[in-house]
Amino acid sequence: MLLSLSSLYKNGLIFKLNPSIVSMENLPEESLKKYNQLYLAIILRYKDYIEEKEKLNVAELPKLITPQDESVAAISNRIKSAFQNYSYPRDFEAAARFAFEYVKNEISNVSLPIEFWLMPSETIKSEAGDVFDRATLLCSIFLALGNVSSKVVIVTGSTARKFIVYAELGQKIISHDLEDGPRQFPDKEAFIKSLRLDSDDELTAYEFSDKMYNSLA
């Protein structure tokens, strides 16, 4: 992580500084805390501007699923290497569990004070993301492992949002909720019923992958 300092504003005047690059990799913990406080102050100052630029409509969500990305492919290949001659029909369900454990245990769940979308490669590099970032990463890995039906489902209510990644295996559905864990359903109808979309008039739900999005409620 790098910080570039090029100017200083003080008493209504701009003071130019010689540009410098500060590496944060080997900073003492106390200095790192101070840099983090500065970053947070900058982010909060420009929060409205950043969120305006980060706005996505539902039709744009598929671009956040990136199974072809090199970082995603590397994770997929790492999971495949756990199997002898990985075969999608035989091994995907077990590989999906490995992918779920990777995202759950190696990608820290963090919540920023700002609406900001991370691409899966950024989530992998940061080893952190919010529940949405982790869901789009998991879906990307499922697709890279060969399950072209994999999708993210977002259910939004008046007080909370839920993110679920699911994949179809014949008629069967395997769903992975990073907060509540994995579940299996005999078919998609049973899976949709589990979302309880008819329990609240304010609920909205949609699903998306790298190639599509669809309204569920």
Instruction: Taking residues 41-46, report their average pLDDT.
Output: 71
* CA–CA dist 11, 87 (Å, integer): 66
Residue 143, pLDDT score? 98
Does the structure show a pLDDT above 60 at 183? yes
Q: How many CA atoms lie within 13 A of 144 on its CB side?
A: 24
What is the arithmetic mean of pLDDT over 168-182?
94
Identify the residue with better confidence: 160 or 191. 191
**C-beta separation of 66 from 120 below 8 A:** yes
Q: Give the mean pLDDT of 57-70.
A: 89
More confident site: 124 or 19: 124
Contacts of 84 (CB under 8 A, 6+ apart): none
SS (H, E, C) the chain: CEEEEEEEEECCEEEEEEEEEEECCCCCHHHHHHHHHHHHHHHHHCHHHHHHHHCCCHHHHHHHCCCCCHHHHHHHHHHHCCCCCCCHHHHHHHHHHHHHHHHHHHCEECCCCCCCCCCHHHHHHHCEECHHHHHHHHHHHHHHCCCCCCEEEEEECCCCEEEEEEEEECCEEEEEECCCEEEEECCHHHHHHHCCCCCCCCCEEEEECCCCEEECC
Is there a contact between 176 and 165 (Cβ–Cβ < 8 Å)?
Answer: yes
Confidence band for 4, pLDDT divided at 50, 70 and 90: very low
Strand partners, 2: 23
| pLDDT at 39 > cutoff 80 | no
What are 155's two structure tokens?
């259910």
Instruction: Kindly state the average pLDDT of the residues 69-82.
Output: 97
CATH fold of the domain at 56-215:
C8orf32 fold (3.10.620)
Domain residue spans in the chain?
Answer: 2-45, 56-215
